[in-house]
Amino acid sequence: MQNLWDDKDAAQCRNVLELRVYTSRLLGRDRTLVLHGGGNTSVKLKQKNLFGEDEDVLYIKGSGWDLETIEAAGFAPVQLDYLQRLAGLDALPDTQMVNQLATHMLQATAPAPSVETILHASLPYKFVDHTHADAVLAVTNTADGERRIREIYGDSVVVIPYVMPGFDLARLCAQEYPRQAGVHTVGMVLMNHGIFSFGATARESYERMIDLVGRAEDYLKRQAAWDVPQQGIRAARVDMLRQAQLRRSLSAAAGAPMIMATHADDEALAFAQRSDVGTLSQQGPITPDHIIRTKRVPMLGNDVDAYARAYRAYFDAHAPHAKEPKAMLDPAPRMVLDPEFGLTAAGKSAKDAAIVAELYRHSMQVMQRAQALGGYQALPQRELFEVEYWDLEQAKLRKGGKPPPFAGEIALITGAASGIGKACVDALLARGAAVIGLDINPAVETIYRRQEFLGLRCDLTDEGAIQSALERAVIAYGGVDMLVLNAGIFAASRKIFELPTEEWRRVMAINLDANLFLLRACHPLLKLAPKGGRVVVIGSKNVPAPGPGAAAYSASKAALNQLARVAALEWGADGIRINSLHPNAVFDTGIWTEEVLAQRAKHYGLSVEEYKTNNVLKTEVRSRDVAELAAEMCGPLFAKTTAAQVPVDGGNERVI
């Protein structure tokens, strides 16, 4: 454990709450302590109310905030004396507890307080820190975990048996802390859950956490249970179509498209290739806090139907014993382990899939250390079921709102670094899709830094490069559902008798041949799209109305248009629809500089503004206009349309 406290940084804090923010962020920066909203921190303060009276207030991390990035606004202020009275009740249903917490906050705009608010309030310390430290979980998730915890910590911590988070846990801690605590007590271990530290100052509570977790790490090292072996790993064999088929099956089980990211690195392969992976991985998560995102256990192999049947059996076995009727969550796995490709993580978005993968990577470390320590042992299935189908978690799912239209879907866009292509990236990202952008311009790799976008430099005239790009796309997201063929070039204006053969061939290679290569390579993936494949071809006004001096461009776009029509005929039986857009005079692209615009406008005896709106509607057509319609063509409004050709040109007299 590394102590990240810095006196200079701490000195910048203007008050106690800012110090609480500072040390919370220090904890959040260490991924072996907390992950993606896990853990929580609090501070007890005395402040004046509207009557000028002193009032004791608990500021606790609010729901939806991550410790790594939390701000003062992320802490919910709740009346401390009322919380302490609640801790003395004999019983309090969790849904009623949440209502009591909300109605006794002192700021209406604050986030919902953590479900562990009453627990924090019952501890007699100004600062309280709570993490799900990997090292502590590795010790507690063994058959004799409690004995080992007491061996490590002695009377430094209070030890609490596992109880599901909520009022019952808070009440038990309120009873057990004064009974077990002594003069040396600086923390509390919740078996199979996590660890608390306390202090009179932010620094004291933080440094006690670092010390306590460091002791667990040292214990694992002394017991030869720290280093996870990765020798003798067989090389990964990732089959693109097999992964796309797996994603389709997984999406069918989930009832909605899913993003599926494959991780074939040494760490993932070493775990998936363990001889005991079936026993190790099928017991349950290292902490119930992970179960909502990762499901109870990962799937082994690729039989989604068998996994779904087992999941339904798990539900049927435990649902009759639940306090209230439960609606079953979708039976699709969120993690897949296979010795061929390592691990695959699934989610309703690329971000969700990335979170699942990171959570399970930590789980792999903890499971293997616990196994080396004496044998990994997760909580009983009954306890896991109660958390997975916890009323509070189901309420969160119901409040989740309507997902974006392309949630869980994947789009591939060519010519994505600028102009219409980049506008298509923006339009599809805004609708919830994960997007792969291809471009010969290396700038495509860095136009966005986010989980939902993968930019790849690719020469589309190279069939090998296209295949490599598709393989990377499938590894990143699981398949291709939507294809936008946008890349193309417009050569210099030349009469036919002046047109060099090399230039003709270059235009054809990029505007026509490359699109044939990509359509052909994407067809097997588009067939596996959960909602059916969709292709949008960015054509040109020159298809219905060619102009002089543009023979190569006009012919290549007309040929591409004909190719799209034939593909629509051939691929309709595969559930793939193909539609074309024919834009004209889209000037907000890289080739249309102010100087070029001025020259062209002058050539026609028009002002720049008149030139830009030289169409029937007298309106300017922008890249975004084309992109928005391209995105809509991939959506439900065009669900029963294929082989359509739609102009986006403000009305062109020659076309009309």
Q: Are residues 171 and 248 in the same domain?
A: no
Task: Give the span between the Cα atoms of 165 and 310, in whole angstroms.
Answer: 26
Are 180 and 294 found together in one domain?
Answer: no
CATH code at 542?
3.40.50.720
Q: What is the CATH number of the domain that holds 297?
A: 3.40.225.10
One domain, residues 308 and 258: yes
Same domain? 445 vs 377: no
Range of the domain at 392: 240-398
Residues in the chain: 656
Are 35 and 148 part of one and the same domain? yes
Distance in angstroms (rounded) separating the CA atoms of residues 194 and 289: 10
Q: Are residues 496 and 600 in the same domain?
A: no
Q: Match 């100052």 to its residue by tokens.
A: 201
- pLDDT of 395: 66
The answer to whether residue 229 sits within a structural domain is no
Does residue 252 sit in the same domain as residue 180?
A: no
Specify whether 363 is located in the same domain as 266: yes
Helix count and strand count (H, E) for the chain: 25, 18
pLDDT for 129-172, tens place per residue?
999 999 999 999 999 999 999 999 999 999 999 999 899 999 99
pLDDT of residue 341: 96
Could you say which of 398, 429, 460 is where a domain stops? 398
- The whole-angstrom separation of Cα 192 and Cα 593 is 63
Q: What is the pLDDT of residue 398?
A: 62
Phi-psi bin for 626: left (phi > 0), alpha (psi -120 to 50), beta? alpha
Secondary element (H or E) of residue 583: strand 577-583
What contacts 140, CB < 8 A, 6 or more positions away?
146, 149, 189, 191, 192, 193
User: Which of 222, 254, 273 is the C-terminal boundary of a domain?
Assistant: 222
Has residue 443 been placed in a domain?
Answer: yes
Residue that has been written with the tokens 């109310």 in this structure = 49
Q: Which residue of the set 219, 389, 553, 611 is catalytic?
A: 553
Residue 617 near residue 543 (C-beta atoms within 8 A) = no
608 with 628, same domain: the answer is no
The answer to whether residue 629 is domain-embedded is yes
The answer as to whether 608 is a domain residue is: yes
Statement to judge: residues 464 and 350 lie in one domain: no
**3-state DSSP assignment of residue 173:** helix
- Mean pLDDT of each 10-residue bin along the chain, 656 residues long: 95 96 97 89 94 95 94 96 94 92 95 94 97 97 96 97 93 95 96 96 98 98 93 92 97 97 96 95 91 88 94 90 78 96 96 95 96 94 86 68 93 96 98 98 96 97 97 98 95 90 95 97 98 97 92 95 98 98 90 79 90 95 97 97 97 93
- How far does CA 434 lie from the centroid of its chain? 10
Q: Radius of gyration (Cα) for the chain, nearest Å? A: 30
Count of the separate structural domains present in the chain:
4
Question: Is 228 a member of any domain?
Answer: no
Owner of token pair 């139907």: 305
Nearest Cα to 247, choosing from 263, 262, 235, 236? 262
Q: Does a structural domain hold residue 270?
A: yes
Could you give the CA distance from residue 594 to residue 608 in angstroms, rounded to a whole number? 9
- Kindly state whether residue 1 falls inside one of the protein's structural domains: no
The verdict on 335 and 424 lying in the same domain is: no
- Whether residue 71 is contained in a domain is answered as yes
- What pLDDT, on the 0 to 100 scale, is given for residue 397? 62
- The reply to whether 43 and 150 lie within a common domain is yes
pLDDT at residue 79 in the model:
96
Q: Is 553 a catalytic residue?
A: yes
